[in-house]
C-alpha cells in the first residue's frame, strides 16, 4: 500500500499532528491506568481498521506489561473473563464513542453511568479525550492509507 499523501509534508498538517501527539502525552500523565488507556486505544483502532495504531498500541501495551492473551481478546472483550469491570466499562465507552454515528442519541446513558461508577471525573475526561484523539489518528491514517503497520517500536513516538 502506498500513502495517498504525506501529512508531514505540509507545514500546517505537520504542526497539527505534532499538537495531537502532544495532547496524547499530556493525557498520558493522568491517573487513568496505563493498561486501560492502551486497551481503549487498541479497541478503537480495531473498530476503525487502523493497522498502524493497532500495531503501536499492541506493542506499547506489551512493553508496559500487558499479557498477549488479554491483547488477543480485546476484540472479544464481552466474552472474555480476563478484564476487570472497570476495563469493561472503559471498553464499552470506547466502542460507543467510536461508533457514535451508529446510535441516534450518541453514547447511551447506561454506558456513561457504568463508566462513571469506575472512574472519577478527571479520569472520565481523560478517557473521553483519548477516545476522541485515537479516532482522529485512526481516521487520518485510514483516509490517507498510511502504510505504518509492523515497524513500530515501543516508545518511538513518546
Taking the chain (158 residues) in consecutive chunks of 10 residues, what is each chunk's mean pLDDT?
Answer: 77 91 94 95 96 93 93 97 97 96 86 98 98 96 80 68
| Statement: 34-144 belongs to CATH 1.20.1290.10 | yes
Q: Is the dihedral of CA 69, 74, 75, 76 positive or negative?
A: positive
Domain boundaries, given as residue ranges, for the chain: 34-144
Q: pTM of the full predicted structure?
A: 0.91
Predicted local confidence at residue 95, as pLDDT: 96
Predicted local confidence at residue 150, as pLDDT: 67
Predicted local confidence at residue 157, as pLDDT: 66
Which position has the grid cell 504542526? 15
Predicted local confidence at residue 5, as pLDDT: 81
Predicted local confidence at residue 119, as pLDDT: 98
Predicted local confidence at residue 107, as pLDDT: 93
Amino acid at each position: 500500500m502506498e500513502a495517498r499523501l504525506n501529512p508531514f509534508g505540509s507545514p500546517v498538517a505537520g504542526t497539527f499532528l505534532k499538537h495531537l501527539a502532544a495532547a496524547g502525552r499530556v493525557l498520558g500523565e493522568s491517573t487513568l491506568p496505563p493498561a486501560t488507556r492502551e486497551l481503549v486505544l487498541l479497541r478503537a483502532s480495531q473498530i476503525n481498521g487502523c493497522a498502524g495504531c493497532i500495531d503501536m498500541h499492541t506493542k506499547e501495551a506489551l512493553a508496559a506489561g500487558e499479557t498477549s492473551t488479554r491483547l488477543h481478546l480485546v476484540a472479544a472483550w464481552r466474552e472474555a473473563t480476563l478484564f476487570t469491570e472497570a476495563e469493561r466499562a472503559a471498553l464499552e465507552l470506547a466502542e460507543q464513542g467510536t461508533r457514535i454515528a451508529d446510535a441516534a442519541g450518541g453514547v447511551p446513558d447506561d454506558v456513561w453511568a457504568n463508566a462513571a461508577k469506575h472512574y472519577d471525573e478527571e479520569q472520565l475526561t481523560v478517557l473521553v479525550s483519548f477516545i476522541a484523539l485515537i479516532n482522529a489518528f485512526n481516521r487520518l491514517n485510514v483516509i490517507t492509507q498510511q502504510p505504518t503497520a509492523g515497524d513500530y517500536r515501543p516508545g518511538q513516538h513518546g
